Amino acid sequence: MPLSDNDISDRLILRLINESVACLREGVVEDEDLLDAGVIFGTGFAPFRGGPMHYIHSCETGELQQRLDELEGRFGQHFHADSGWGAIA
């Protein structure tokens, strides 16, 4: 079954965002602002999006977690939502 454009973009962006949440939870990065700056300057994340944490705050976190759950059900544990999502305010 071919993937929709939405599936493709979500599989790309949500993996990065989920790993960003994990980095905060694990203390790899001190705070959200540093994480956003590091991803923007280090990987070329679209600056107009403000970084992955800014992206999370511009969306409904519950919807992002739900979408991760859907992707996990379809594509496996690579999309399992990190436990750090609960700390995102």
Domain positions in the chain are 5-76
**Looking at residue 22, what is its pLDDT?**
97
Q: What is the DSSP letter of 3?
A: P
pLDDT tens, residue by residue, 15-40: 999 999 999 999 999 999 999 999 99
Residues 38-61: tens digit of each pLDDT: 999 999 888 888 999 999 999 999
Q: Burial letters for 6-25: b for 16+ Cβ neighbours within 10 Å, e otherwise? A: ebeebeebbeebbebbebbb
pLDDT of residue 89: 65
Instruction: Work out the average pLDDT over 59-79.
Output: 95
pLDDT at 64 over 80: yes
The hierarchical CATH code for the domain 5-76 is 1.10.1040.50
The helix/strand count (H/E) of the chain reads as 4, 0
Q: What is the pTM of this model?
A: 0.90
